[in-house]
Every structure is written in structure tokens, then in C-alpha cells.
Amino acid sequence: MNILDKIIFDKRREVALKKSLVSTAQLESSFLFGNRTISLSKLLRNSPTGIIAEHKRRSPSKPTINNSFSVEEVVTGYESAGVSGISVLTDAKYFGGSLEDLILAKAAVNVPLLRKEFIIDEYQILEAKANGADAVLLIAAVLTPEEIKNLSEFAQSLSLEVLLEIHNLEELQKSMVPSLDIVGVNNRNLKTFEVDLNYSKDLASAIPEDFVKISESGISSIDTVNTLKSFGFQGFLIGENFMKTDNPGASAKVFIDQLIGKN
């Protein structure tokens, strides 16, 4: 069993337990459930940088990335830096995140928030809406075409945007449905955690122009962003590159300033 299979195995048990403790009616009655969402795709289309910065404490390949800063410190730093959106990891066991991180981020900033999670059930989309998300992630590698269609339509019915993550042409071809807003190419193989930017370059032309294209993982230089822009990418999800530093927000600001030619 590879790491992705382990994560999904544990996630199914976790979701089943949560369903037994918190009903969908309770989620729907949440204070944040009726909040108006902010469009991540619109901001990416109009942004000069397209940077989506990530709050990420750890990962299966990096047991500790950064535990030194509160969620509020990280996300307010990102907002001040001028990011287009913020990705918040909510998986606890493998990434050290939580839904509370999402709530705290929502209270602290006014930029679109992506719930970064291994979503396998509509219940998790209700959780996302109830805890302040503006967009949700669906991962093609762990979902069937029917699940992608149903989950994305359900998310959009709640005014949540949908980022579909793919890693190869097969995943792209099985996953294209109208109820997507953003298609992201993950340069990291979730089964081995190896990173190769050629995945984005090779898949760029195959992604329909109807969707905003973003590249995820392994992005750490201005040259890489500019190269990926030439392939039609409008967004760039960067987590570890900022989080591993002494001040993620300041690192994001330096990066964005360089990208737009301020430095």
C-alpha cells in the first residue's frame, strides 16, 4: 500500500466517525455556512502573479516544515504580500492541519481560501462551506469520473469553486466536466512524492481553455513561474518554499515583489 492509499484508507474512517458526531444539519446551521464566497478563479485570471500560498505544517515526506507560527501570523503575512489565494491544509494525521486552521484563516484575512484536503464525500464539502472555505480541492487520482462530477456539482451548488488536481493525461481525460473552475497539475507524484516540473509543461496544452490552469508543487524560483506562464498557467501553488523559512509572509512578499519587478 503506497502513501496515498494509506491516506485515503484513514480518511474514509475519519469521515465515517465525523458523520456519527456532527450531523449535516449542524454543519448547515453554522454561522459561516451562509457567507458569500470569494472567487479564486476570477482573482487568478486578473492577477499579475497568480501566487496561491499555502499554510502547511508538515507532510509525509517532511515530518516538520514549520510549527513556529500561528495560522493568523502566516495568513496575514501572505495577504500583506499580495497573494491571490491561500491554501489551508486541514488533514491532521499526515499534514498537521485542522478545520480550526481554516476558521482562523477566515477570521484573519479577506482573500479566497482553498480547503486542501483529500475529499471523498459530500460531507467534507459541507464541512468546507461551514468552516469558511471559498474553494475545495478534488484529486483525480482518488476519485472516479462519476465522483468528480457529483462532488464538483455539489460544491458549486454551495457557491464553492472547484480545483481539480491531476497528475497525468489519463487523469485529465477522465475528469473533464463543466462543473470545474480550476485545473491544477500536481508536479508531485502522490504515490512516491517525487517532483518533476515537466508534468505541468507536458499537460498544459491538453487542459481546456475554459478552466484556469495552475501548477502545484516544486515551484521555488521566479524563472520557474515565468517559464510556466509561457505554457499558459495563471496560478502557482507554493507551500513549502515559503513555510520552511523563518517568516513565510515575508518570504512570499520578497518572491512576489521580484515577480512583478519591484526588486
pLDDT, block means (10 residues), the chain with 263 residues: 92 98 97 96 96 92 78 97 98 96 98 98 98 98 97 98 96 96 92 87 96 95 96 95 94 96 70
Q: Which of 215, 216, 241, 251 is catalytic?
A: 216
Does 116 participate in catalysis according to the annotation?
Answer: yes
Nearest to 211 by CA among 237, 245, 234: 234
Q: Check 11, 106, 116, 129 and give the catalytic one.
A: 116
Q: Is 100 a catalytic residue?
A: no
pLDDT score recorded for residue 3: 87
117 catalytic, yes or no?
no
The whole-angstrom separation of Cα 75 and Cα 56 is 11
- 216 in catalytic set: yes
**Residue of 131, 217, 241, 251 with catalytic role:** 217
Give CA 108 to chain center in angstroms.
18
pLDDT value at residue 19: 97
Quick check: is 186 catalytic? yes
pLDDT recorded at residue 263: 54
Per-residue model confidence (pLDDT) at position 195: 86
b vs e for 110-144, b when ≥16 Cβ sit within 10 Å of the residue's Cβ? ebbbbbbbbbbbbbbbbbbbbbbbbbbbbbbbbbe
Between CA 125 and CA 115 the distance in angstroms is: 9
| Annotated catalytic residue within 117, 161, 165, 171 | 165
Q: Active site includes 149?
A: no
- Nearest by Cα to 159 from 177, 140, 133: 133
Task: From 51, 30, 42, select the one nearest 228 (Cα to Cα).
Answer: 51
Task: Tell me what pLDDT residue 2 has.
Answer: 87
Cα–Cα distance, 191 to 186 (Å, whole number): 12
**Which one from 41, 186, 187, 241 is the annotated catalytic residue?**
186
Catalytic residue among 11, 41, 47, 54: 54
The reported pTM is 0.95
